[in-house]
Structure 1
Amino acid sequence: MSDDVATIQNKLVDFYLAELDALRLSQSLQKGQLEALSAPFFLNLHAAKAYFEAPIRVMFVGQETKGWFCRLPEILNDPKNHVPPLLARYERSLLGPPGHSHFLKTRCLLEKELTGGIPGSVIWNNLFKMDVFRGKGKSRSARNYSVALTTFSAKLFRYERELLQPDIIIFGCSATHDTVVKSLFEAPKRKTVLVHVPKELWHFKYDQIDCFRTLHPAVARFRKHQSVQKHYQKIIQEIKSGKHANAVRIVGAMASRPDD
């Protein structure tokens, strides 16, 4: 599998470099807009090798990364030399301790419940590839920042989805991002299975992929702790009792087996 992962990663990096070059040449972002954007969020599949070995492939998607590495102009000036540090940053965040991040703690919970707790077995992705610096103490939300950023992020996400072939995608983002989510999964292939809780928990399918959109784990800070926990437990329960139930049971049995 390691050779396959290396091949997929090489395809991904080539695609990233080509899209960065296209973004630089397009001049679709003005200088002030460029300087406000962070470095792009790129996946390191070597760190997520366990994702490809798991009987069930789970992708957990956040909104955008807060303060990722450096500013975008620095990356565009020398993309080839900056991609390796970006991949290393992803590896540290994916495999290292989650710290105080509600999102990363939830990703670890999903690994424990769905993929045997193997580090890197639930892959992390984001709706937006860059966040926006608006000054200290202000929101870094990338939603509605620019058409260029939305288009760039969507193009990368679609390519990553096709390359990684997830069985399940869980979006941890508010209903305000539903327009973006829907744009990534065009109708008629996108079909709603059930709206469990309006604006809080939505289950839909895209071809063979089961997708869930619920609250971002960080809203637990704003008196929604019980709702957030309940929604993620509902998603876990549905996956464990649905068409992937046997795969989850196999992973659970392997995880509980004593070492030889």
Structure 2
Amino acid sequence: MNELNKELEKLYLSKTDGIFKMYKELNESGYDDFSYPLLLHVWEEEYSKAPVKLMIIGQETNGWGAKLETSDHVISSMQNYKDFNLGRNYNSTFWQWARKINQMMSNPDTNCFVWNNILKFGKDSDKGCPVWQVTEHENKYFNVISDEIAILKPDVCIFLTGPSYDNYIRLKFPDVEFDNFGGYKLINEVAQLKSKNLPVHSYRTYHPGYGGRYPDWYKEVFDIISQAVRKDLKVKD
């Protein structure tokens, strides 16, 4: 296991007691429709060599296996992420755009970027947000995204969450500000996110499920973002 994955594993193991408290409280309240937490794995050699270290942040998983029951399952959950292989066998609109965005940053079409979600716990076997009690407990016991970013140190975070998830972002990054960017007048369309726990190049726009309906407009958003990133980081086209 490489160093970044060791640091991630250490982080997750330090939070397992919290996860078990979360499970206990939710189960006692009658809420059990939630999945494994999304625990990251990084292809470190590819990530470290990428011209732009990119983290793409979605909404939540569309089902993600059973619940984490013992600390041993941290390893299996990270392996689940690795086996998913950044959606290479999952031909959805989200993954088509994720790979396209990665390449627009002048990165190779490899597993050199990181996929994350603003909500670590999705539904057990379906898409969409879990009930709010699950997310409330996640924020109480397993709010780790700032720690993941501190470990991985991405140059860029792109939130493909859409404006309806902005309150979830605020719960993860209490100091976050949503600023206009790139000539877009509507914050709902595109925003630059500013927080002490985010890289300078952090942006939020629509999820590909919506933005992908307007491919020319959507591609232009990422063209403008990638131009700003590559210019600042002095990355050649």
TM range (shorter): 0.7 to 0.9
**SS at 1:30's partner residue?**
helix
Q: Specify the alignment match of 2:193 in structure 1.
A: 204
Residues 178 and 193 in structure 2, CA contact (< 8 A), matched pair in contact too:
yes
* Cα offsets for 1:112-169 (capped at 9, x unmatched): 2114324112210001111124xx8x7531362431023345x211110111111211
SS of residue matched to 1:67:
coil
The amino acid of 1:210's aligned partner reads H
Q: In structure 2, the residue corresponding to 1:91 is in which secondary structure?
A: helix
Structure 1 or 2: more helix by fraction: 1
Alignment of 1:131 onto 2:122: yes
Displacement of 1:109 = 0.4
Cα 1:48–1:225 change in 2 (3 A) is farther
Change (3 A) 1:139 1:7: closer
Aligned to 1:256: none
Are the counterparts in 2 of residues 57 and 167 from structure 1 also a CA contact under 8 Å? yes
2:10 is the counterpart of 1:21 = no
Count of residues in Structure 1 that have an aligned counterpart in Structure 2: 231
CA contact (8 A) 2:4 2:44 kept: no
Q: Residue in 2 aligned with 1:245?
A: 231
Which stretches of structure 1, 4 residues or longer, exceed 6 Å deviation after superposition?
Answer: none
Question: Deviations for 1:32-69, whole angstroms, at most 9, x for unmatched residues?
Answer: 65631111111012x35422222321110011001102
State the structure with bigger RCO (CA 8 A, min sep 6), 1 or 2: 2
Q: Is 1:69–2:69 an aligned residue pair?
A: no
Gaps of at least 5 residues in structure 1 are: 253-260
For the residues of structure 1 that align with 2:155 and 2:162, how far apart are their CA atoms? 22
Identity %: 19
TM-superposed deviation, 1:98: 4.6
User: Partner of 1:42: helix, strand, or coil?
Assistant: coil
Deviations 1:235-254 (A, max 9, x none): 332321x253264743x4xx
Query: Cα RMSD over matched residues?
Result: 2.8
Distance 2:121 2:147 in 1: 17
SS at the partner of 1:79?
A: coil
Q: How far apart in 2 are the matches of 1:206 and 1:149? A: 20
Query: Using the alignment, how far apart are the partners of 1:159 and 1:85 within structure 2?
Result: 20
Match of 1:79 among 57, 71, 75: 71
Which residue of 2 is the match for residue 44 of structure 1? 41
Does the Cα contact within 8 Å between 1:172 and 1:217 map onto a contact in 2?
yes
> Does the CA contact (< 8 Å) of 1:42 and 1:87 recur in 2?
yes
Kept after mapping to 2: 8 A contact 1:56/1:248: no
State the distance in 1 between where 2:210 and 2:47 align. 27
Q: 1:248 to 1:158 in 2, by over 3 A?
A: same
Change (3 A) 1:92 1:23: closer
- Is 1:111 aligned to 2:102, yes or no? yes
What is the 5 A alignment of 1:1-260? 6-25=2-21, 27-31=24-28, 35-45=32-42, 47-70=43-66, 72=67, 75-76=68-69, 78-80=70-72, 82-95=73-86, 97-133=88-124, 140-142=128-130, 144-146=132-134, 147-153=136-142, 155-187=143-175, 190=177, 192-194=179-181, 196=184, 197-207=186-196, 208-219=199-210, 225-226=213-214, 230-240=217-227, 242-245=228-231, 247=233, 249-250=235-236, 252=237
**Could you report, residue by residue, the CA deviation over 1:68-87 in whole angstroms, capped at 9, with x for unpaired residues?**
022x2xx22x231x233322
Q: Which amino acid aligns with 1:30?
A: N
Instruction: State the Cα deviation string for residues 167-217 of structure 1 (Å, max 9, x = none).
Output: 211111121210121233333x64624382342222233354211111111
* Code of the aligned partner of 1:201: V
- SS of equivalent residue, structure 1 residue 29: helix
TM-score (norm 1): 0.76
CA contact (8 A) 2:201 2:229 kept: no
